[in-house]
Amino acid sequence: MTTFTPAILVLEDGRTFRGRSYGATGTTVAEIVFNTGMTGYQETLTDPSYRGQIVVMTAPHIGNTGANPEDFESGRVWVDGYVVRDPARQRSNWRSDRSLDDLLAEQGVVGISGIDTRALTRHLRERGSMRAGISTEVLDPEALLEQVTAAPSMTGSNYLADVTVDEAHVVPAEGDKKYTVVALDLGIKGMTPKLMAQRGIEVHVLPATSTLDEVLELNPDGVFMSNGPGDPATADHQVELVQGVLERGTPYFGICLGNQIFGRALGRGTYKLKYGHRGVNQPVQDRTTGKVEITAHNHGFAVDAPLDTDFETPYGPARVTHVCLNDDVVEGIALLDRPGFSVQYHPEAAAGPHDAGYLFDRFTDLMEAARAEAH
Ligand SMILES: NC(=O)CC[C@H](N)C(=O)O
């Protein structure tokens, strides 16, 4: 007879769910958020932007294709906890070398299964993201709640030191090298430099604490800042770095945290969304073309900028270029007279639809134009 290890999930507001241990045993406390992707659980788990978060999967059946090293977006699983309804009892895929349960256990990720993820998600949608704990050892909800309320909140958190590379490295261009880009690793996903390399970009991935001098030393055609975990309001060093880049007129492209940092560099604030956007089917309109694209998201914060008018910045006028059609959240901004733009969502689409791949071409177009102007 199979026996199960009991586990509990306790939310900051006291709501408690009982289930079974999934992955590692132990206790974890972090912000709880939900992801609506029906596919791509491995890419989600290995996205460094999820550092500091317990992720609830709304898709009821998780783990069907097991785990394989090829679908990792970084070197490890980063989520601080994992909540699923009904884990696959059997894995089925020729690339799979482990079950998802084994992968999570190996990586020390505490999870819980057998949870009514629909009720849990509705609760989080109504009350907003909050702190939560999962435990297989503290099974008294009151005792776990004490640990949950003692934990730091997501607002004001900075995890960049945990996720960034220790040493710079280069991802070579595929085919002829056309451009050099410095990509600041704030928790970069593997697909991002790959999509740049496919466009003839040699990508120099640098640690998050790199200085403007270290960036400029490489004489880049463009500077990129990646997605990453934590509260963008704490990324002061990176904001100053972007300001230095913009002053010199070097083309800039940012994704997600890199968008929030760009917004701050332009003088705008950021704020926390009630429950964020996490999934692979969010409708975003590119206002420069009017086209609607279906996109991958993972963000809990957003840039505060006006939708209806251009706004002034120290680098000339700027505009909101992309908007989420579900809730009018700013999903992209661009300078009008200088080469700089960014998006809040994930055009690298790992996992997710490829509708937004054109943004990497917009980046090469900017670098091409800047080069033509210099000659
Ligand atoms: N994926 C990201 O870059 C997320 C940025 C930021 N941590 C947020 O939650 O909004």
Residue 338: predicted pLDDT: 97
pLDDT range class, residue 1, cuts 50, 70, 90: low
Residue 374, pLDDT score:
87
Q: Is 126 left (phi over 0), alpha (psi -120 to 50) or beta?
A: alpha
**Taking residues 357-374, what's their average pLDDT?**
96
Q: Across the chain, what does the average pLDDT equal? A: 97
Predicted local confidence at residue 375, as pLDDT: 80
* Residue of 202, 256, 299, 324 marked active site: 256
Active site residue 256: yes
Q: Which atom of ligand 1 is nearest to the CA of 231?
A: 7
- List binding-site positions for L-glutamine: 49, 228, 230, 257, 260, 298, 300-301
| pLDDT level of residue 225 (50, 70, 90 thresholds) | very high
Count of C-beta atoms within a 10 Å radius of residue 372: 8
Q: Give the C-alpha distances (Å, rounded to integers) separating 212 from 7, 216, 241, 243, 313.
A: 48, 6, 6, 10, 20
Contact between 294 and 324 under an 8 Å Cβ cutoff? The reply is no
pLDDT digits over 253-311, tens only?
A: 999 999 999 999 999 999 999 999 999 999 999 999 999 999 999 999 999 999 999 99
Strands 201-207 and 169-171, sheet pairing:
antiparallel
Please report, in range form, the residues annotated as the binding site. Answer: 49, 228, 230, 257, 260, 298, 300-301
CA distances to 73, 244, 325 from 241, in Å: 26, 5, 31
Contact 255, 343 (CB under 8 A): yes
Give one DSSP letter per residue of 26-44, joined into a string.
SEEEEEEEEE--SS-HHHH
Rounded to two decimals, the ipTM of the complex is 0.97
**Tens of pLDDT, residues 150-163:** 999 999 999 999 99
Give the single-character DSSP code of 246: H
Give the number of the atom of ligand 1 that is nearest the alpha carbon of residue 227: 3
Q: What is the pTM of this model?
A: 0.97
Residue 72 has pLDDT above 60, yes or no: yes
Q: How confident is the model at residue 206 (pLDDT cuts 50, 70, 90)?
A: very high
Quick one: pLDDT at residue 180? 98
Q: Does 322 participate in catalysis according to the annotation?
A: no
Domains of the chain: 6-150 (3.50.30.20), 160-374 (3.40.50.880)
Active site residue 346: yes
Residue 3 binned pLDDT confidence (cut-offs 50, 70, 90): confident
Distance 1 CA to ligand 1 centre (A): 44
Phi-psi region of 115 (alpha: psi -120 to 50; beta: other; left: phi over 0): beta
The ligand 1 site (C-beta within 6 Å) comprises 49, 227-230, 232, 256-257, 298-301
Out of 45, 78, 256, 270, mutate this one to test ligand 1's pocket (max ligand atoms within 8 Å of CB): namely 256
In angstroms, what is the C-alpha Rg of the chain?
A: 21
Element (H, E) at 258: helix 257-265
Distance 256 CA to ligand 1 centre (A): 6
Helical ranges in 100-177 per DSSP H: 100-106, 117-127, 141-150, 160-163
Ligand 1 nearest atom to the CA of residue 228, by list position? 3
Structure letter (DSSP) for residue 73: S
Closest ligand 1 atom to the C-alpha of 270?
10
Task: Tell me what pLDDT residue 2 has.
Answer: 63
